[in-house]
Every structure is written in C-alpha cells, then in structure tokens.
Amino acid sequence: MSESGTGLPPTAGDLVWPALNFVLFVALLVRFLREPIREYFRARGERLGRALEAGAQARAEAEALRAQLARDIADLPALRERLRADLLATAAQEREDLLERARRAAEHIKSDAALVAEQELAAALQAVRTDVIDEAVRQATTLLRHALRPDDQERFVHEFVSRAGPSA
C-alpha cells in the first residue's frame, strides 16, 4: 500500500518484499525446525500406530467376549437342565438320607420301647409275685391261726428245740 492511503492498488514492487520475507521465514523454519517437526510427526505416527493397535486389540477382545457370551447364551438351556438334574439328584439323595435316619430313629425308638416294656413287664411280674406271696402268707397265717391249737404250738416248740439242740 502506498503511504498516502489513497486506496490505489498495490504494485508488484509492493508485493515482492512481503513475499520474499515470507519465503525467508519459511526457509528459516524449515532449516531450524526440520528435525523437531520430523520427530514430532514420527512420534505422533508411533502414538497413532499404538492407538490403532490397542484399538484393534480391544476390538478383538470385545469380539472374543461377544462370541463367548453368545456361546454361553446358547448353552443356557443345557446348563439349566444340568442344574435341574443336579438339584433333583441332590434332593433325592437328601430324601434317602432323611428316610434312612428316620428308619434308624424308629428302630431305636422301637428297641427302647421294647426294652422299657420288658422292664415294665418284669417289674409287674415281680410286683404280682410279691403280692401273691404276701397274700399266700397272709392267708396261710390266717388258716394256721384258726387251725392250730395250743397243744400243736407246744409240739412245734419241742420239735424245734430238739432239732436245734444237737447242732448248737
């Protein structure tokens, strides 16, 4: 631009110096910043490569996980049936164990009851024997009192003394 500010279009001479200045600026930038820029873009390329590799690895892992989940979902009915069969088998085994324990407890209770019954029977028989003996003694005593006369009693005493005498 002209210094007068009249608004005249710039001439070729006005454009040469800024263009030359720009070319020198770019040449200096290339000369001094070539290696740092090259290193920056090389490091950036490596970072992008690693990021792409990590992305590919993550995609592969996600695909493997998706495939595993699909297999697991497809296997769910079979797994459900296996679990159901296991639960039924466990329940049947537990039922058999409980029945066996109940049988043993019933046998134990039966044997205890039989033992108690035998003991009660023996005690009752002993009580009946005792009662029968007591009643027999009582009735014999009553009969002897009525049947014995005073001379029988005297004879019993003499016989007792005569038997006891030689052994003493």
Full-model pTM: 0.40
Per-residue model confidence (pLDDT) at position 4: 56
Residue 81 C-alpha from the chain's centroid:
21
Is residue 7 situated within a structural domain? no
Q: Mean pLDDT across the stretch 32-50?
A: 92
- How many structural domains compose the chain? 1
CA dist 91 and 87 (Å) reads 6
Is residue 167 situated within a structural domain? no
Is residue 3 situated within a structural domain? no
What is the span of the domain harbouring residue 63?
Answer: 12-162
Is residue 1 situated within a structural domain? no
Is residue 149 situated within a structural domain? yes
Check: CB of residue 2 under 8 Å from CB of residue 8: yes
Give residue 11's pLDDT band: very low, low, confident or very high (50, 70, 90).
Answer: confident
Per-residue model confidence (pLDDT) at position 85: 96
Is residue 23 situated within a structural domain? yes
Is residue 6 situated within a structural domain? no
Query: What percent of the chain is modeled with pLDDT above 70?
Result: 95
For tokens 């263009």, name the residue: 19
Distance (Å) of CA 67 to CA 43, 62, 74, 77? 35, 8, 10, 17
Is residue 115 situated within a structural domain? yes
Mean pLDDT of all residues belonging to the chain: 89
